[in-house]
Amino acid sequence: MAKKLKVLVTAGSTTVPIDQVRNISNIFRGGTGAAIARLFEEHDMMDVTLVTSNRDIWKEEGFGWVSDKIKYFNTYDELIQIMWYEIRNGNYDVIIHSAAVSDYYVHDVCLFEGNNLISLDKTTKVSSNHEDVFLRLRQTHKIIDLIRKPWGFKGYLVKFKLQVGIDDEELLKIATKSRITSEADMIVANCLEWAKEKAYVITDNETVEVSREILPEAIYKKVREALS
C-alpha cells in the first residue's frame, strides 16, 4: 500500500494581548481552511492535521476526526509554537497555511504626558479611567517565511494572501512576488471585497481564477498533480 501524504492545514485567526484581559484579533474564523482540511481528509491517501483557532469548527464542518488530529491555538505565540513543533516533528509532505496571522504585536501601552510617552503596566489590566491610551505596535515574524528557513520544511507549501481595495492586476503582481519571497509552491490570492466569490490560485507556471465554492477542490487537484 502506498504511503499516505501527511498534510498540515492552519485555519482561523491569531490574537495578540494588549494586557491581561484585552487583545487584538481579526475578523476571520477559519471556515476556508477547515473546508480544505475536510476535503483532503476525505481522500484515502491523505493524513490531515488541522491547526485552528475555532474550537467549534469541527462541529460546524462535520469532522469525525480523533482529537489529536485537531490542535487549537488562540494567540500568535501559541500558533508559532505549534507550527514549529509540528514541522520539526511531523514529517509533513504538504503545508497549507491559511490562518490569518497577526502582523503586529503590542510592544507598549502608553499615555502622553506633555510631549512624552509614558508606558503603562500591561502585565495586569490597564485602567479604563484613562481618556486616551496609545498602543505601540511592532511587526511580528511572518510565520510563512519561517517554514522553509529556518524550520527546514522541504515539502509542498501553500500560502494565502488577502488584500483590500486594489484591482486584480495589482493583486496578481503582489501575490506572485509574495509567493516567491516565501518560497511557496502555490499562493491563493483574493481581495476582501470579493473574497466570498472567487480566488486566484497561482503556481510557478499557471494562474487560475476559481469560484469560492470549488476552491478546496482546486487546491487539492493542484497538490495531487504536483506530488504525483
In order, the DSSP letters of 161-208 are: EEESS--HHHHHHHHHHHHHHTT-SEEEEEEGGGTTTEEEEE-SS-EE
In a domain, 77, yes or no: yes
pLDDT score, position 63? 58
pLDDT score, position 151? 97
In a domain, 192, yes or no: yes
CATH code of residue 212: 3.40.50.10300
In a domain, 121, yes or no: no
pLDDT, one tens digit per residue, over 178-196 is 999 999 999 999 999 999 9
Q: What is the pTM of this model?
A: 0.92
Please identify which residue in the block is written with the cell numbers 497555511: 97
**Dist. CA 90–CA 198, nearest whole Å:** 32
In a domain, 68, yes or no: yes
In a domain, 112, yes or no: no
Longest dimension (CA), the chain: 72
Number of domains in the chain: 1
In a domain, 128, yes or no: no
Q: Residue 127 pLDDT > 80, yes or no? A: yes
Give the angle subtended at the CA of 81 by the CAs of 151 and 123, to the nearest 5°. Answer: 135
Sorting pLDDT into bands at 50, 70 and 90, what band is 62? low
Which has the closest alpha carbon to 219: 100, 95, 101, 53? 95
Sorting pLDDT into bands at 50, 70 and 90, what band is 163? very high
Show the domain range for 40. Answer: 5-102+142-227
Sorting pLDDT into bands at 50, 70 and 90, what band is 202? very high
Q: How is 28-52 classified by DSSP, letter by letter?
A: ---HHHHHHHHHHHHSTTEEEEEEE
